[in-house]
Chains A and B, each alone.
Chain A
């Protein structure tokens, strides 16, 4: 095993990536970096991060639900909710100039929202609107345990699932997760279509589909039961249902 001789610059960059530097070392590093091409400091930070990921990977624990709630509270609002928040703020302004700007903004927001129908539609309304689209395909759940269908519009990449009689789940112990098999992707890794729940007392549920990445050629829709929050890739040990084209 051979290793190149380390310069003082290497030492400072590596120390910074691993431990951070004291002020006098930072000044020394800044001085050394003069005349050096590229983001060598960023490179070392990334190598340290990758090494951390590799070393830590076998023992990663999930945070508590309480912490997850804290993280969610700080998270940015989705676009549709941002728009609603903007309208609320603007409606409270009394200044004429702001009102004029608000009117222009609202017009833009209205036009934009008009082009993004699913973000203001309920799941049932979304399903209805998709059923009228000329590019939507309808799939049926196979088997006897529950009935319903899947509507999927490849053009808009939107869809909805309808379930009748699907067993309720306890979100604290397990959740349903949708997988979309794309004919243009490796079948070992279907597209994550989102997690969802069937609350107690539900007879018919309509769930919007949340494809994490683009689906080029939907071949199958499969539901699995997974731990809370879902998984990145399912081990498919608990397949609940599969939809086939009608």
Chain B
């Protein structure tokens, strides 16, 4: 069978900083992911499989880094997807991308699980997270417009701000653990995280909330 000659071969997956794909393509990909959640909510056949195909990798990877234990990470991933099946109907594309919706949900679950585990006296020791080996990594996740802008904003952060955000958001380390690991003072860790995320927010152009009485 001859190869199809409709479209020239191109690398479709986006990786941070490549900037090779236009915003219309981002939007289409984002719309496809949003449609997957909408289909899950409406019970469309095969939507579950599509949902798992798109979101299981990012959720599982985050759970594994947060919990540093494959068994716990599997349980957490299962919990997250049970919650996702129930809450898919709440997804509103006007408020953010489907990936952001899923990862917001996943992060809340993982933070709760991590905090409970740290309060438990017999909690397992926190060994270093195992990074996925090169041969099991997938090509990358779909980055919507909004996340692409975050990627640009991250490039503008001070190295310590980015480091603290990476350890906290991706590795699930507490501020105390980050202080122990990096040698930074606890207050410095918090300051870097707060200012880093504030900077990301500013670069996304989100306006500050209207406050009625500031402390």
B81 and A210 contacting across the interface, CB-CB below 8 Å: no
Instruction: Check B72 for interface membership: any CB of A closer than 8 A.
Output: no
B138 and A61 contacting across the interface, CB-CB below 8 Å: yes
B32 and A192 contacting across the interface, CB-CB below 8 Å: yes
B211 and A63 contacting across the interface, CB-CB below 8 Å: no
A49 and B214 contacting across the interface, CB-CB below 8 Å: no
Instruction: Check A131 for interface membership: any CB of B closer than 8 A.
Output: no
**Chain B binder among A32-40, A86-94, A95-103, A132-140:** A32-40
Instruction: Check A57 for interface membership: any CB of B closer than 8 A.
Output: yes
A45 to B143, CA, bound (A): 17
- Chain B hits for A234, CB < 8 A: 12
- Chain B hits for A32, CB < 8 A: 215
Beyond A19-B174, A63-B56, A76-B40, is A187–B209 a contact (Cβ under 8 Å)?
Answer: no
Within B33-69, which residues are at the interface with A (CB < 8 Å)? 35-36, 39-40, 42-50, 52-54, 56-58, 60-62, 64-65
Instruction: Check A54 for interface membership: any CB of B closer than 8 A.
Output: yes
B52 and A60 contacting across the interface, CB-CB below 8 Å: no
- Chain B hits for A232, CB < 8 A: 12-13, 29, 32, 53-54, 142
B16 and A57 contacting across the interface, CB-CB below 8 Å: yes
A56 to B165, CA, bound (A): 11
Instruction: Check B182 for interface membership: any CB of A closer than 8 A.
Output: no
Beyond A60-B57, A145-B1, is A45–B48 a contact (Cβ under 8 Å)?
Answer: no
Within A184-239, which residues are at the interface with B (CB < 8 Å)? 185-189, 192, 194, 210, 212-213, 220, 222, 229-230, 232-237, 239
Q: Which of B49, B108, B154, B215 contacts A7 (CB 8 A)?
A: B215
- Chain A hits for B198, CB < 8 A: 3-4, 6, 10, 14
Beyond A10-B194, A79-B44, A145-B1, is A48–B107 a contact (Cβ under 8 Å)?
Answer: yes
- Chain A hits for B31, CB < 8 A: 213
Instruction: Check A15 for interface membership: any CB of B closer than 8 A.
Output: yes
Taken residue by residue from 64 to 92, chain A's Cβ proximity to chain B (1 for < 8 Å, 0 otherwise) reads as 00011011101111111010000000000
A43 and B206 contacting across the interface, CB-CB below 8 Å: yes
Q: Which of B44, B197, B202 contacts A4 (CB 8 A)?
A: B202
A181 to B156, CA, bound (A): 38
Beyond A19-B175, A237-B9, is A186–B193 a contact (Cβ under 8 Å)?
Answer: no
B57 and A62 contacting across the interface, CB-CB below 8 Å: yes
Q: Which partner residue on chain A sits nearest B12 by CB separation?
A: A233
- Chain A hits for B193, CB < 8 A: 14-15, 18
Shortest C-beta distance, B64 to chain A (Å), equals: 7
- Chain B hits for A144, CB < 8 A: 1
How many residues on A have C-beta within 8 angstroms of the other chain's C-beta atoms?
88
Q: Which partner residue on chain B sits nearest A7 by CB separation?
A: B214
Within A121-146, which residues are at the interface with B (CB < 8 Å)? 142-146
- Chain A hits for B111, CB < 8 A: 19-20
Taken residue by residue from 23 to 54, chain A's Cβ proximity to chain B (1 for < 8 Å, 0 otherwise) reads as 00000000010111110101111111111111
A235 and B194 contacting across the interface, CB-CB below 8 Å: no
B residues apposed to A, CB below 8 Å: 1-4, 6-7, 9-16, 24-25, 28-29, 31-32, 35-36, 39-40, 42-50, 52-54, 56-58, 60-62, 64-65, 74, 77-78, 81-82, 85, 95-96, 99-100, 103-104, 106-108, 111-112, 114-115, 131-132, 136-138, 140-143, 146-148, 150-151, 154, 156, 158, 165-166, 168-170, 174-175, 190, 193-195, 197-202, 204, 206, 208-215
9 interchain residue pairs of minimum CB distance:
A35-B212, A61-B132, A233-B12, A143-B1, A79-B43, A78-B45, A63-B60, A145-B1, A75-B48
